[in-house]
């Protein structure tokens, strides 16, 4: 996604999903490195968590590290917004 965004202006990415790790980022350092790439390019990542098993740690970390935010589906087991 980052490569498709203009390099000379800020942008935002909206992630819809449960935050589960399907990209096989095996540790927190790899996820932090990904967030750093987006932060340096001034691209915020906001998440909209859906599903019964949300990985709030991943959703929250990406949002906090890049200046985004996290909202949850009203049917989620975790009904609070962060």
Please name the residues in contact with 70: beta carbons below 8 A apart, sequence gap of 6 or more: 46, 47, 48, 49, 56, 59, 60, 63, 81, 82
**Structure confidence at residue 74 as a pLDDT band (50, 70, 90):** confident
Please tell me the pTM assigned to this model.
0.80
Query: Tens digits of per-residue pLDDT, 7-28?
Result: 889 999 999 998 887 766 567 7
């Amino acid at each position: 996604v980052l490569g498709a965004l203009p390099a000379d202006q800020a942008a935002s990415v909206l992630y819809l999903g449960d935050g589960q790790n399907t990209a096989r980022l095996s540790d927190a350092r790899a996820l932090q490195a990904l967030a750093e790439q987006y932060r340096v390019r001034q691209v915020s990542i906001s998440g909209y968590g859906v599903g019964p098993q949300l990985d709030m740690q991943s959703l929250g970390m990406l949002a906090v590290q890049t200046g985004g935010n996290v909202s949850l589906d009203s049917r989620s087991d975790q009904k609070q917004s962060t």
